[in-house]
């Protein structure tokens, strides 16, 4: 439950609640870089120099304002919980229904400390705010997540720790993007690249809802020119795509390679673009009985990501076993095998 000293907005008089405003300037406990931008971004300035100021006090932010409409609407308890764990200062407003009041008490306390509003509303209002009937009883209106451009130097660091990478090139359905992100988070994968393909879905409200908090656990980057990125990644990663073509192989039949895997997934209908396929070192196939041609891309991703995670766990376990064996060999047994030095007469 929220603190007793905090009143629900719904407990206020109708005229006061209806005209409620938010003073976002009162956020001294968090740097301004975590607040929404209202000025135009200058592409010639670095990210550190970009103006992250908010609306001044004499321009209050209301629910009907353009500012509020541009906020991401993260729905569902798992997704909202993950957002609060990652960065609660991204949350500008919180809405929930009667049945979720106990579950969101901790969030309300955090909102109160940041002097930001939270509201108990009915189901119809939640549907209006979230744009869906599948809101799960709680919606956070948050600053949209910024997706930075991918840097090959980051991949070098990831590869050194053996971390796989997933690249999406043309996944158009945000539900599929969310499902893939959820699978990645479940199996412990951390890095997701989203291409600039015109059909590629972004980090929409629907993607967050389906991901059930998975997107908040991933580092997401924008891959400008997927084929070119795949080529550059080959220095550190074995880049594999998915295809129904004749040269496709099953995961366990890939030749041994010390590089971790980068998995590339394409459009639901057309698959990977031709230039991206050519940039891959191999194409993976999931064998079936032949009754249907293929799987949904999120199902394909789930199977392959599970296989990648299993290979990663097996490789890590083998490496640890080898290290333990080497330590035992270099231990007391080695000392016993050494001959004592002869004394000089």
Q: Which residues contact 47 (CB under 8 A, 6 or more apart)?
A: 148
**Res. 325 pLDDT band, cuts 50 70 90:** low
Q: How far is CA 249 from CA 169, 207, 229, 246, 262, in A?
A: 20, 30, 23, 9, 15
**pLDDT score recorded for residue 324:** 61
Best mean pLDDT range from 42-56, 80-94, 237-251, 330-344:
80-94
**Res. 134 pLDDT band, cuts 50 70 90:** very high
Distance CA(74)–CA(92), nearest Å, equals 11
Q: How far apart are the first and last CA of the chain?
A: 87
Please state which of the ranges 53-62, 142-151, 219-228 shows the lowest mean pLDDT.
Answer: 53-62
Which secondary-structure segment (H or E) carries 238? strand 238-242
Average pLDDT of the segment spanning 184-198: 97
Distance CA(237)–CA(273), nearest Å, equals 20
Digit-coded pLDDT (tens) for 95-132: 999 999 999 999 999 999 999 999 999 999 999 999 99
Q: Is the pLDDT of residue 34 over 90?
A: no
CA 137 to chain centre: 22
Average pLDDT of the segment spanning 320-326: 59
**Res. 54 pLDDT band, cuts 50 70 90:** very low
Higher pLDDT, residue 327 or 338: 327
Q: Is the pLDDT of residue 219 over 90?
A: yes
Q: Are 241 and 272 in contact (CB under 8 A)?
A: yes
Digit-coded pLDDT (tens) for 247-300: 788 988 898 899 999 999 999 999 999 999 999 999 999 988 889 888 999 999
Q: Is the pLDDT of residue 147 over 90?
A: yes
**pLDDT score recorded for residue 93:** 96
**pLDDT score recorded for residue 246:** 63
Average pLDDT of the segment spanning 220-229: 97
Higher pLDDT, residue 294 or 224: 224
Q: Are 261 and 240 in contact (CB under 8 A)?
A: yes
Q: Is the pLDDT of residue 160 over 80?
A: yes
CA angle (94, 100, 105) in 5-degree steps:
65
Which two tokens mark 77?
């308890």
Which secondary-structure segment (H or E) carries 223? strand 219-223
Q: Is the pLDDT of residue 2 over 70?
A: no
Q: Which residues of 179-202 are buried (b: 16+ CB within 10 A; e: fewer)?
A: bbbbbbbebebebbbbbebebbbe
Q: Helices (H), strands (E): how many in the chain? A: 12, 10
**pLDDT score recorded for residue 48:** 37
Best mean pLDDT range from 22-36, 66-80, 157-171, 302-316:
157-171
**pLDDT score recorded for residue 69:** 85
Distance CA(59)–CA(115), nearest Å, equals 17
**pLDDT score recorded for residue 106:** 96
**pLDDT score recorded for residue 19:** 33
Average pLDDT of the segment spanning 19-31: 38
Distance CA(31)–CA(38), nearest Å, equals 16
**pLDDT score recorded for residue 67:** 78
Instruction: Please give the full DSSP string across 259-313, using - where no structure is assigned.
Output: SPEEEEEEBTTTBS-HHHHHH-SEEE-----SSSS---HHHHHHHHHHHHHHHHH
Higher pLDDT, residue 336 or 41: 336
Best mean pLDDT range from 15-19, 31-35, 130-134:
130-134
* Domains of the chain, earliest start first: 9-142 (3.30.1330.30), 152-324 (3.40.1280.10)
**pLDDT score recorded for residue 149:** 97
Q: Are 284 and 249 in contact (CB under 8 A)?
A: yes
């Amino acid at each position: 439950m929220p603190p007793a000293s905090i009143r629900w907005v719904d407990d206020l008089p109708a005229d006061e609640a209806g005209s409620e405003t938010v003073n976002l300037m009162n956020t001294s406990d968090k740097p301004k870089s975590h607040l929404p931008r209202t000025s135009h971004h200058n592409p010639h300035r670095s990210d550190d120099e970009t103006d992250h100021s908010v609306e001044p006090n004499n321009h209050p932010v209301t629910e009907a304002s353009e500012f509020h409409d541009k906020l991401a609407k993260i729905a569902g308890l798992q997704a909202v919980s993950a957002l609060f764990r990652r960065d609660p200062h991204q949350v500008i407003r919180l809405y929930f229904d009667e049945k979720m009041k106990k579950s969101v008490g901790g969030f309300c306390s955090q909102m109160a400390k940041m002097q930001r509003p939270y509201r108990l509303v009915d189901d119809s209002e939640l549907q209006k705010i979230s744009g869906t009937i599948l809101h799960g009883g709680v919606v956070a209106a948050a600053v949209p997540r910024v997706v930075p451009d991918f840097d090959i130097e980051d991949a070098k660091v990831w590869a050194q720790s053996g971390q796989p990478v997933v690249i999406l090139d043309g996944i158009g359905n945000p539900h599929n993007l969310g499902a893939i992100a959820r699978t990645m988070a479940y199996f412990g994968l951390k890095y997701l690249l989203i291409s600039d393909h015109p059909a590629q879905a972004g980090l929409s409200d629907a993607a967050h809802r389906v991901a059930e908090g998975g997107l908040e656990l991933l580092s997401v980057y924008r891959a400008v020119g997927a084929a070119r990125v795949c080529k550059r990644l080959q220095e550190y990663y074995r880049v594999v795509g998915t295809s129904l073509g004749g040269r496709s192989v099953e995961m366990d039949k890939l030749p041994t390679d010390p590089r971790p895997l980068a998995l590339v997934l394409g459009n639901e209908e057309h698959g990977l673009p031709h230039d991206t396929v050519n940039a891959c070192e191999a194409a993976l196939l999931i064998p079936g009985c032949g009754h249907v041609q293929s799987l949904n891309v999120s199902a394909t991703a789930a199977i392959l990501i599970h296989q990648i995670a299993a290979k990663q766990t097996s490789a890590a376990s083998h490496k640890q076993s080898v290290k333990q064996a080497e330590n035992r060999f270099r231990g007391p047994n080695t000392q016993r095998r050494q001959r004592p030095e002869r004394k000089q007469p």
